[in-house]
Amino acid sequence: MPKSSSSRSSKVKSTGSRLKALPWAGLLQVGVAFGKRWRGLSDRDRARLAQLTRERLRVQHGRLGNLSAREREELRKLLRKLDMKGMSREMFTQLRGTGRRKRR
């Protein structure tokens, strides 16, 4: 006898509800804000930042302490150019109002 459709639909509902619970809009906003800042860097800065994070950190097992002092300072300088602090402030102000109703 085939399984009832109710057991299948409950499985689909639980998966669907989990997908709905993910903060897609928030993740999209973070991606757009990061992309805007990334494109604001020069080609040379983007290439160097990618090189430092991808190659050096992978070889060093993700430990920033294994970078040379010069490389760490260069990485800090490039991250300051990305203005991650400003991006977090922007995201906080955008997301702060979500889920709350305005009082009348």
CA distances from 72 to 41, 45, 53, 54 (A): 18, 14, 11, 14
At residue 16's C-alpha, the angle toward residues 14 and 5, to 5°, is 60
18-36: b (≥16 Cβ within 10 Å) or e: eeeeeeeeeeeebeebeee
- Identify the residue with better confidence: 88 or 55: 88
Residue 71 has pLDDT above 60, yes or no: yes
Alpha helices (H) along 41-83: 43-51, 57-59, 69-82
Cβ partners under 8 Å of residue 41, min gap 6: 49, 78, 81, 82
Where do the domains of the chain lie? 33-85
Confidence band for 27, pLDDT divided at 50, 70 and 90? confident
> Can you tell me the mean pLDDT for 72-90?
88
C-beta separation of 54 from 61 below 8 A:
no
- Identify the residue with better confidence: 30 or 59: 30
Residue 24 has pLDDT above 60, yes or no: yes
pLDDT in tens, 6-17: 555 555 556 666
- Identify the residue with better confidence: 50 or 93: 50
Q: Would you state the pLDDT for residue 17?
A: 66
